[in-house]
Amino acid sequence: MAMSETLAKKFGYSEKVMDHFKNPRNVGVMEDADVTSKVGSVACGDLIKLYLKFDPDRDQIKDIKFESYGCAANIATSSMMTEMVKGKTIEEARMVTFKDISETLGGLPRIKLHCAVLSRQGLETAFLKYEAKRGRVKMDEPFIYKILRGVLDPVQGVDIISAKILQGTKIEGNKITLDLKAKPDSELAKSLAEDMHDAFEGLDVELDLRFKE
């Protein structure tokens, strides 16, 4: 059901937010993407998957698309973010903040600012994965922690590091072992396992997830 103008005003959504919600730009799947990134969680209510294609000589974003599961603000911020960074180099795109996204949309209700943060996190995750695939950054513990900032605890709605679900990491070559605080075979463990494999999608790594209560 489409959101009425009365409801939009009640929620504090601007005309630009509603425009990007009803007519999202750059939405869809890119089959030949150089890199993808998925942040958020369906269980939390907000999830974004990005697809990016680069000009390798200039590190320029030739194309960017997204899929979104969530509210009007989630769709609108993802749409606006893709518009703001398309055609930019990685260095230029990194200068776009979540506040820039919100302000360009005419502002967001405070309770919905996390949607702009999530879209920006998805972009940074994509850049990190692209740089790793190009051999520019080492897939060490700091890199793993940055990637996992986009994986959310569906109960608390914060990343698994802040939620203290991630208990430890071990790196041996391309094998990454993660110790996680969750009951084995629980719905939480299954959800986290799926999200973490999606987070590292496209990277030459082997994940060993160890769940313990």
| Active-site annotation holds for 115 | yes
**Alpha helices for the chain (secondary structure H):** 5-11, 15-22, 72-85, 90-93, 98-104, 113-133, 141-148, 187-199
Residue-wise over 51-72: b if at least 16 C-beta within 10 A, else e? Answer: bbebeeeebbbebbbbbbebbb
Within the chain, what is the greatest distance between any pair of CA atoms?
56
One-character DSSP codes across 6-55: HHHHHHT--HHHHHHHHS-SSBS--TT-SEEEEEEEGGGTEEEEEEEEEE
Question: Which residue is catalytic, options 17, 33, 44, 144?
Answer: 44
Please state, in angstroms and rounded to a whole number, the distance separating the CA atoms of residues 141 and 186.
Answer: 26
Bridge partners, 64 (sequence order) = 52
Contacts of 126 (CB under 8 A, 6+ apart): 35, 36, 37, 50, 52
Please state, in angstroms and rounded to a whole number, the distance separating the CA atoms of residues 168 and 140.
Answer: 13
Closest by CA to 37, choosing from 213, 199, 192, is 199
Active site residues: 44, 115
